[in-house]
Amino acid sequence: MKPMHGAYLFKALKDKGCIIMACNTRICVGIMKGLFRAAKEADAAFIIELAKSECNADGGYTGLTPKTLSEHACKTASEVEFEVWGLHADHTAVKKGSEEELEEVKKLLTSCIDTGYSSFAIDASHLFNFEGNGVEEELADNIRSTIVCGEHIKQKYNEKHGNSEFGFEVEVGEIGRKGNEGMILTSPEEADGYIKALNNAEVYPQVLAIANGSTHGNIYDDNGKLIEQINIDIEQTKSVAQALRNMNSEVRIAQHGITGTPLNIIKKEFPHGDIIKGNVGTFWQNLFWNVVKEKNPEFFNKVHKWVIDTYSEKAKEKGAKSDDEIWGKFGKFATKQFFDEIYALDSETVKKIEDKTYEEALKFFDAFKANGSAQIVRDYIKKINDED
Ligand SMILES: [Zn+2]
C-alpha cells in the first residue's frame, strides 16, 4: 500500500491541534509493523522517514536504501491495511551548496521519488554566513540550495504523479548547534525572512524545522549518565509559529530530537498545532536493543562489544564519559555492520519488539493528540476530490 501525498497530511491537519508523528525506522524489524498497528488502532496519520545519513544509495549507516525502506513500509502498510501515512526523506543535507553536491542531492531525491517517497526535507541549515548583513545575506546559501532542490522535486514529482502535492520540509537554524552562550536558537525574524525568500521563488514548504534547544539522539550528563530531553524552548517555538502566522504563511513547525522527552511534557506543554510534525528516531532503536538484550543476550553482547571496541577512542575524544554513553551515541553504526543478523532474528524476539513498539507508539500518539487524525485526512481528500 503506497504512501499518501505528503501535502495532504500537512494541509489536512494544519491547525487541528495535533502533531503528526514521524518515525525514523533505522531498524525495520518488528518496529515497522508495531508502528503501523498502533497507527491503525489510534487511527492516527503518521510518517515513516530516514535521513540521508541513515539511508541513501550506499545504504547509509542503517544498510537501507530508499528502495528497501520503501518496500518495507509499503509491504507492512498492506499487511496491516492502514493507508494514512507518508514516506519522507528526512534531513536531505546540503552542507557545501556547491554545484557538484547539489547534483548529488538531486540524484538522491530522484531515487526517492522513483521509489515512492511522498515527502521531502531539505536541510541546508549548515549553510550560514556569519559575516552576512541581515537575515537574507546570512541565509543566502541556504535559500539558494533549498530553492534548487525544491524546484527539482516539483519537476520530478509532477512527472511521476501529475501533481505537486508532495510534503516539503525546510530547515533554518542547525539543530543542536551550540555557541559560547549555549544553544543557538532560530529567531522569528529568521523564520520570516527565510520563508518569504522561498515563497518569492514560488517554493512553498508546509513545514519548517528550527533550532529550538533540542538535540538529536540520546543525551548524557557530565558523568555519562543518560538524562531526559527537557531543553526544548517552548516560548521561542511559539514565537516562531506566531511570526509565520503573522505573515499569513501556511507553514508550521517540525520538532526534531524528541527522544528522551517525557510524554507528559509533550502532552501538556508542547504547542500542538504550532508544531505539526514531531520526529522520533533514536527511541525506536533504543527499544529494539533493549528487547534484544533481554531475549538474545549473546547477540546483544557481541554488538555492544563491537561498538565499544570500535568507537571508544573517538567517543572519548568527543567527551563521552561512560560505556553507556558510547553505546547510546555510537550504537547506531552497528545497524549496517550487523544488518544480516538483525534482519534474521528469531520470530519470538521480533514479535516482542513489535508488541513493545505498538504499546509505546500508542502512548506517543496520545501525547501528540493524534488519535483520530487519519479520519481528518480522509475527509480532506474526499472534499478536494468532490470539488474536482
Ligand atoms: Zn532531525
The rounded distance, in Å, linking the Cα atoms of 76 and 208 is 29
Query: Which region among 222-226, 347-351, 384-388 has the lowest average model confidence (pLDDT)?
Result: 384-388
pLDDT at 388 over 80: no
Q: How far is the CA of 91 from the centre of ligand 1 (A)?
A: 6
Q: How far is the CA of 280 from the centre of ligand 1 (A)?
A: 9
Q: How far is the CA of 222 from the centre of ligand 1 (A)?
A: 23
Domain ranges of the chain: 6-296+345-387
Proportion of the chain above pLDDT 70, given as a percent: 100
Q: How far is the CA of 175 from the centre of ligand 1 (A)?
A: 7
Q: Where are the beta strands (DSSP E) in 145-272?
A: 167-172, 178-179, 182-183, 207-210, 219-220, 226-227, 252-255
Q: Residues 138-155: what's their mean pLDDT?
A: 97
Q: How far is the CA of 229 from the centre of ligand 1 (A)?
A: 14
Pairing of strands 219-220, 226-227: antiparallel
The rounded distance, in Å, linking the Cα atoms of 284 and 121 is 21
CA 52 to chain centre: 11
Q: How far is the CA of 388 from the centre of ligand 1 (A)?
A: 36
**Mean pLDDT over all residues of the chain?**
97
Instruction: Spell out a b/e string for 326-351, using b for 16 or more CB atoms within 10 Å of the CB, else e.
Output: bbbbbbbebbbebeeebeebeeebbe
| pLDDT tens sequence across 291-333 | 999 999 999 999 999 999 999 999 999 999 999 999 999 999 9
Supply the angle between the helices 188-200 and 234-246 in degrees, to the nearest 10. Answer: 40
Q: End-to-end alpha-carbon separation of the chain, Å?
A: 24
pLDDT at 387 over 90: no
| Amino acid identity, position 141 | D
CATH number of the 6-296+345-387 domain: 3.20.20.70
| pLDDT (0 to 100) of residue 179 | 81
Supply the angle between the helices 66-80 and 99-114 in degrees, to the nearest 10. Answer: 30
| pTM, two decimal places | 0.97
Q: How far is the CA of 117 from the centre of ligand 1 (A)?
A: 18
Label residue 184 by pLDDT band (50, 70, 90). confident
Q: How far is the CA of 67 from the centre of ligand 1 (A)?
A: 21
Q: How far is the CA of 125 from the centre of ligand 1 (A)?
A: 11
Label residue 158 by pLDDT band (50, 70, 90). very high
Q: How far is the CA of 347 from the centre of ligand 1 (A)?
A: 31
Query: Do the Cβ atoms of 46 and 23 come closer than 8 Å?
Result: yes
pLDDT at 174 over 90: no
pLDDT at 178 over 90: no
The rounded distance, in Å, linking the Cα atoms of 36 and 361 is 9
| pLDDT (0 to 100) of residue 272 | 98
| pLDDT (0 to 100) of residue 182 | 80
Q: Residues 24-35: what's their mean pLDDT?
A: 98
